[in-house]
Amino acid sequence: MGEYGEIRIPKLNLTRSVAETPPTSRIVYVMTEEEKEAFLAIDSSVLAYLELQNLPFRPFEYANANEHPLALFFEKLSTMTDVSDILRILHYGDSQIEGDRISSTIRHYLQQSFGGHGMGAVPLFGPVHTSSYIVERSTNWQRNFITDATPSNSLGAWMGYLQGTTDRTATIRLRISPYILHPGAGYFSDINILTLNTQNPEDIEVSDRSKTIYSFQSQRIGEHFSLITIPFDTAQKFCELTFRNAHLSHIHGISLDPKSGIVVDNVPIRGSAGYHIFTRHKASVLQESFQLLNTGLVLFQFGVNAVSNDPNILVNSRAIENALVRELSFFKAMMPDVSIVVIGVSDRAYKDGDIYRTNPNVPLVRDAQRNAALRTGNAFWDLYEVMGGENSIVDWVNQRPALAGRDYTHFSARGAQKVGKMFYKSLMIEYLNYLKKQKEHALEQKLKALNEYH
């Protein structure tokens, strides 16, 4: 073998038991705290208003902690852009919201945060005008409203309609009120008119203050209703609508809207306790109107009319609860993708000798409203408690300036603004908490997927 001698190659054992196999190293993906913080970041500017900082708020109540009843609405909010369609909120209530009270403040902050302008639906049917716009009608209109002795079962989402009574021209003039609370409600870019689908849009003409004439640009037609849109080249504060062949016109509502963003409609129903608002309608007809209007959220604020005037006569809270369950269940079956917030009754006091005290029926009505909301899978906001609870209305009356009137029931203009601010703050805290939970879940899924990959 030469000078190196014999080279011996050792015999190799090429088999190894499972127990002897060294463990395979596994890479675990870990995010730094900075990465986690960036991933979970949420824009909280929706609460960046100094006037809201010291106001109380109240978390929403709902039955299933793992399924937020406003999830669909919050998702729509979070994806809104400058080119999105409008997202409509309808605020139904009793005399507490008449004249655009409470609604106007909620609208103001939502439009500031998510875009939009205009006051939405104008008060064509009810007995009280709004603080935002003045409506002037020609005399050849007949008004129909949900509080009539025998109301129609096909009123639509705005709960009324105007019907022309002669074959001549009829007009509706809309102009900004000198008492407007929030300037953003005082101008609009589009007019949306809800009519019967038999309406000829060519019979509708709109003019601005300079007498420039505008005609319809688009029309969405359903089986019962038609939504006619008339756009403006520039934002407007005044308009006059002219309807030729008025006797053929059934106007179920007019809305002063932006081209995109939030719209909040004020729909007061004086004297109502919240019963038979939806259930008196044909479901298919009412559903179509909500769909045409692109409704995303309903605020349902009643209760003071359910409170007995005599504090010694206690209401049947179970009957109230069941009546509200019927309303809310009817709506839920009709519009499952629209979120509802039941806003609880506000405090109301009676005179006991020389002292004003909370009517004992108030908490009974509040509990019935809460139970109805939770039974039907909706959210509940406790206005009574956020006001301060028992005897809070007395404190609101005694504030200077006063936050409530001497009837110890209704809010003053300043008090209504405070309620609107407290509701907006509570809604946005719910919204941000929802986004936070969604981001935390997304982070958990992201880390899980990365580690499965590696």
The answer to whether residue 232 sits within a structural domain is: yes
In a domain, 83, yes or no: yes
Q: Select from 107, 87, 104, 98 the least CA-distant residue to 125.
A: 98
**What domain range includes position 433?**
34-453
Cis peptide preceding 401, ω within 30 of 0:
yes
pLDDT tens-digit readout, 119-132: 999 989 877 777 78
In a domain, 25, yes or no: no
Residue 13 lies in a domain: no
> What digits encode the pLDDT tens for the residues 240-281?
999 999 999 999 999 999 999 999 999 999 999 999 999 999
Answer yes or no: is pLDDT of 373 > 60.
yes
Q: What is the pTM of this model?
A: 0.91
HSE, side-chain direction, 13 A CA sphere, residue 200? 8
User: Residue 217: what pLDDT?
Assistant: 86
* Domains identified in the chain, total number: 1
In a domain, 6, yes or no: no
The CATH number of the domain where 320 resides is what? 3.40.50.1110
Q: For 3-12, what is each residue's pLDDT tens digit? A: 444 444 444 4
Residue 42 lies inside a defined structural domain of this protein: yes
Q: Is residue 236 part of a domain?
A: yes
- Distance of alpha carbon 425 from alpha carbon 5, whole angstroms: 93
Q: Which of 454, 452, 444 is nearest to 36 (CA)?
A: 444
| Residue 23 domain flag | no
Give the pLDDT score at 171: 97
Q: Minimal CA–CA distance to 399: which of 381, 382, 387?
A: 387
